[in-house]
Amino acid sequence: MSYDLTDGIELSDEQREFVALARDFARNEIRPRSRAIDEADTEAPMDLWAKAAEIGLAAYMLPTEYGGGGVTDLVTQCLVQEELCHGDIGIANFLTSSSFFADPILSLGTDEQKKKWITPLTGSTPPVTSVAVTEPDVGSDAAGLQTRAVRDGDHYVLNGLKTWISNAPLSQYFVVFATFDPGLRSRGVTAFVVERDREGVTVGAPMKKYGQRGTLNAEVFLENVRVPVENRLGEEGKGFYGLMHTFDASRILIGAAATGLSRAILEDAVQYARERTQFGKPIIEHQAVAFRLADMAAKTDISHVVTMRAARLHDAGKPATAASAIAKLTASENTTWVANAGLMTHGGWGYSREFLVEKWLRDAKLEEIEEGTSDIQRLIISRAVAAR
């Protein structure tokens, strides 16, 4: 299925070039590696990381003043993310992960901190980075962090355990969210940049996952880690604001990622339905299959539309928290439905590794869980509805 990638919005030639670059990279570099990375389970495609950095895809979304591509509007970022995830969602999320690390620094950091921590992300050999929020007992309730940050002169001492941290096995730098007083809930949350080589930082082995294996996850242990005050982002207790600002944008990008995955599944299912024959004709001519494909197309298109609406609101500086949640909820649940429908269209072969659709179903499920489960998105949306 094809889309008018501008949705009626005029994009600059440079923005169009980034979208075309992402499409070509996804087709020629990402998709051919999709199955092998999935089978390898815990091996990140560092060669693709290097290639993406070389052509500017790893830093296209970062500001030009720090050497990035300057595509800071979410509309264009969503279009690029759709294309990359059309190739492989796990690999694409890894290749564009620098923006997730950079966002709290851009939201909370000083000019000096931005220059120090973001500029290296735009070089030819950028470091891999992570954002460390989730803990064993703290997932959806981000205000309930237990990782402690205790002031000790011109340092903070961090103690705690983070889990399910994307990129952790490879990361050189972490934005760690901790609290100086758990009783304060969100008002105690504070963000720090923590270097991997600081004494007391230990990273666990890569987790074996159900899907999206192109992005590695692991636990991060913090034991009496001394972090200088200049590594604190913003004032004490302001970290939750930065985290929510990050989530507002990243959930919209999840909507775009899920839409890209849905597009891949839909296109694959249509092609298979044209080629597979039963009862003397291609199965696409059987109404049951044709109607399933119609529903897949409708859900994919809806995901695209609500995601782009949220991106436009965000870019316009308007309140976008509810729209972000709607985009994330809709696109993530739709892509799981589309993936299951794609597998059913393939019949028995859909259950085989001969086709990517079984992998895509596994990949899709994570979109309903990461950065706030579907239940959390419904909570956000319901509160917005009640406040009207």
Tens of pLDDT, residue by residue, the chain (388 residues): 454 544 566 777 877 888 999 999 999 999 999 999 999 999 999 999 999 999 999 999 999 999 999 999 999 999 999 999 999 999 999 999 999 999 999 999 999 999 999 999 999 999 999 999 999 998 878 888 999 999 999 999 999 999 999 999 999 999 999 999 888 999 999 999 999 999 999 999 999 999 999 999 999 999 999 999 999 999 999 999 888 888 899 999 999 999 999 999 999 999 999 999 999 999 999 999 999 999 999 999 999 999 999 999 999 999 999 999 999 999 999 999 999 999 999 999 999 999 999 999 999 999 999 999 999 999 999 999 999 8
To the query of whether residue 82 is one of the catalytic residues in this protein, the response is: no
At residue 74, the pLDDT reads 95
Q: How far apart are CA 388 and CA 384, in angstroms?
A: 7
Q: How far apart are CA 301 and CA 306, in angstroms?
A: 9
- Quote the tokens at residue 64: 């030009």
Catalytic residue among 333, 367, 368, 371: 371
At residue 1, the pLDDT reads 47
Query: b vs e for 311-328, b when ≥16 Cβ sit within 10 Å of the residue's Cβ?
Result: bbbbbeeeebbbbbbbbb
CA distances from residue 369 to 103, 270, 336, 363 in whole angstroms, order as listed: 21, 28, 11, 11
At residue 377, the pLDDT reads 96
CA 240 from centre of chain: 19
At residue 9, the pLDDT reads 66
Go through the chain and tell me how many residues it has: 388
At residue 274, the pLDDT reads 98
pTM of whole model > 0.85? yes
At residue 18, the pLDDT reads 87
Question: CB of 198 within 8 A of CB of 157?
Answer: no
Question: CB of 372 within 8 A of CB of 140?
Answer: yes
CA-wise closest residue to 75 among 305, 387, 340, 338? 305
